[in-house]
Each structure stands twice: as C-alpha cells, then as structure tokens.
Amino acid sequence: MSKEITIYDIAKELDVSPTTVSRALNDHPAVNKNTKQRIFDAASSMGYRSNLFASNLRSKRTNTIGVIVPMLNSHFQSSVIAGMEKVANQEGYNLIISQSLGAAEKEIANAKTMFNSRVDGLLVSLAHNTGDTSHFDPFFQKGVPVIFYDRIAEHQQGIGIVIDNMQAAYKATTHLIEQGCTRIAHISGSPKINVYAERLKGYKYALIDHNLPFDESYVLAGSKLNEEAGIEAARQILRMDPMPDGIFVSNDTCAASCIKALKQAGKSVPEDIAVVGFNNDSICGIVEPSLSTVDYPGYEMGEVAVRSLLNLINGVSDAHITNTITLRSELIVRESSTRKAFAARSAADAETQKKVLY
C-alpha cells in the first residue's frame, strides 16, 4: 500500500514551506499565481488528496446536506432534488440523499444515519405514515437546522416549504364546476398527510361556494397515488350511480391511469367525465387527452429549500421568525377538462357534416 501524500511531501519536493503549500491548495491570495500552479501540478502528479476529515474537524462542518424523500422514482421529487443540487453545488455543498420508501420506520433509520454522518442541515419530505416527529429532535438539540418541504410537520423549530394546496385544489375544482360539472369526485392520498388534507379542504370549499353538495362517497382516499390506484379509482367511479361527471385527482400519474381505464370502459374524456390532476408531471402531455393539472414548482422548491437551509446554517436567518414559506402554483388547463370547448368542437363538426350531407 502506497504512502499517503501530505503537504509536507509536496513542500519537500518543491523546496517551499508547508504553509505555502497549504495556502496554495486553499487558493490563498498571498501565494503568487506561478507558485500556485507549481504546487497544484506537483499535488496532482504525486497523488495528493486533501484531508477533508481533518478540515471538517477544524471548521466543525462537513459541507454536506442530508435529504430524506419518500420515493426517488417521482417526477416531482426528481425536480426538487435537481433544484437542490444546483444551489448546493454553487455554494460548495454536497447532498446525501436517502428515501424512506414512504415508511416512518425507514425515515427514522435514515434520520439517525444523517445525524451520525454529521450533516450540516437536513431537508425532509415526510413519509406517508409519519405521525411522531421526535426522531428529528436530536438535530434541533444540536443546533442542526431542519427544513420540511411538501409533506411537512408541525414543528416549532422547523421551517416548512409548501404551496397553498388548499387554494390550488379550490381553483382546480372551481374550473371543473365552470365547465359544467356538478358531480365531482376527488381522488386523494392519506388525509393524515398535510398536502392531501389541504387539497381535500380546497375541494370541499369550492363545492360549498358554488352551492354543490359534498358527498363523502365521492372522496376516494388511499395510501398511494400510483397507476394501480388510478385503475382502482376508475373501477369505483364506474360503479357509482349517478356517476361523477368530473374528477379532481391529487396526482398526475394516478389521473393518467384513471383516464386510460375510463376510456377502456367506453367513457369519453372530457365529454362524459372531465379530469384535472396535480403536479404537472411530464405524463400530462403524453396521455390522451392531454391532462389539465396544477403546476407544482418542484425545481424552485428545491432551490428555495437549500438557500433557506444555508441561511440557517450561516446564521443569516432564524427559524423562529419564519415557520412557513409558501410558493405560488398555477392551474394549467388542457384538453382533459375543457368540456365546453369539446362541446363547441362537436357542434362545429356536426354542422360541417350536415353541410356535407346536404
């Protein structure tokens, strides 16, 4: 096994002081450009590796940020992580990413690993069944900042980054009502999770404000909003009497598979049933008809999360001052919900056909 090269070896090789080598490797302005280049070249050719561990002990920082997500195979989470990576890399930080697989037990284990890895801060989107958040207490006790995003916890010392889920759901449901829908179903995740609880509220308030009754049987809630959940929801909707004429779904993947199942059963979207999803995933432009949805700014959320966390790490801001950061969202209207446009097109096609025949 070869010997680990140190700054003293480089100093001896170049006949300069170890202090000069150390300063050059840290890009100190006191060392001239030519000397720096000689030292960089020698360090590279000799196989020198900087001792980050020793440096971290001196600075009491690891320049790492922990990230715990429910699932990595999510368009939304991928967008968030991309935003996080951009800002973290710009500021000289690395991300340690783990997934809880939607289980509180795994989230607890991940949090312990992050704590033992001495991350400088932690970003968390909670698991489906997380109730007690005491596994994050060691971070707060050590002064390590924690920011929750999307699926957040009510914690006095933690900051939450969200969109106004209630308002977004209100807009989505109102849009369906404006398209002539009077029997609107809602496909949701677990109401124990803040985002789904808030979206359910927005759905209810839209119905109330437009003098439509709220029917509990029209709310289909499950633990996961995946393709299988969309197919199962379609089966339940097809058995309803009267059948809904609109659906607001809290996830685009679930909405897309629900549309596919409804069409396979002979239903027309949006003529028979108008559909609005949530997140603005890439699948929205692939499904036929294209899916109306709420744009959830995942990339921006990732950027804001890391910037906010670094402000806490560097003492620029205080978690006690701002407990919640709310980002803007937007309803994107596409073909799956535009019943009026569909009706107008159908009428125009019928008129054209009539002229052809006569």
Is the pLDDT confidence value at 348 over 50? no
For CA atoms 241, 247, 251, 256, the dihedral sign is positive
Strand ranges across the sheet with 121-124: 94-99, 64-69, 121-124, 146-149, 159-163, 324-327
Q: What count of other Cβ atoms lies within 10 Å of the Cβ of residue 287?
A: 24
- Tell me the fold of 62-162+298-327: Rossmann fold (3.40.50)
Residue with tokens 């049933």: 273
Q: pTM of the full predicted structure?
A: 0.77
Q: What is the pLDDT of residue 61?
A: 76
pLDDT digits (tens, 9 = 90+) for 145-164: 999 999 998 766 778 999 99
pLDDT band at 57 (very low <50, low <70, confident <90, very high): very low
- Tell me the fold of 165-296+332-347: Rossmann fold (3.40.50)
pLDDT band at 345 (very low <50, low <70, confident <90, very high): low
pLDDT digits (tens, 9 = 90+) for 287-324: 999 999 999 999 999 999 999 999 999 887 765 566 88
Nearest Cα neighbor of 295 from 346, 250, 340, 331 is 331
Q: Are strands 159-163 and 146-149 parallel, antiparallel or unpaired?
A: parallel
Q: Which CATH superfamily is domain 7-50 in?
A: lambda repressor-like DNA-binding domains (1.10.260.40)
Three-state DSSP state, 30: coil
Is the pLDDT confidence value at 60 over 80? no
State how far the Cα of 344 lies from the Cα of 122, in Å rounded to an integer. 52
- Which residues in 214-251 are b (16+ Cβ under 10 Å) and which e? eeeebebbbeebbbebbbbbbeebbeeeeebbbbbbbb
pLDDT band at 45 (very low <50, low <70, confident <90, very high): confident
Residue with tokens 């379609």: 234
Q: Are strands 293-295 and 274-276 parallel, antiparallel or unpaired?
A: unpaired
Q: What is the pLDDT of residue 339?
A: 84
Q: What is the pLDDT of residue 54?
A: 53
CB 292 within 8 A of CB 130: no
User: Where do you find CATH 3.40.50.2300 in the chain?
Assistant: 62-162+298-327, 165-296+332-347
pLDDT digits (tens, 9 = 90+) for 221-264: 987 889 999 999 999 999 999 999 999 999 999 999 999 999 99
Nearest Cα neighbor of 191 from 203, 177, 175, 174 is 203
Q: What share of the chain is helix, strand, coil (3-state, %, to 5)?
A: 50, 15, 35
Helices (H) and strands (E) in the chain, counts: 13, 12
Three-state DSSP state, 249: strand
Nearest Cα neighbor of 202 from 174, 233, 160, 244 is 174
- Over the chain, what is the mean pLDDT? 88
Q: Which carries the bigger pLDDT value, residue 2 or residue 124?
A: 124
User: Where do you find CATH 1.10.260.40 in the chain?
Assistant: 7-50
Q: Which carries the bigger pLDDT value, residue 230 or residue 49?
A: 230
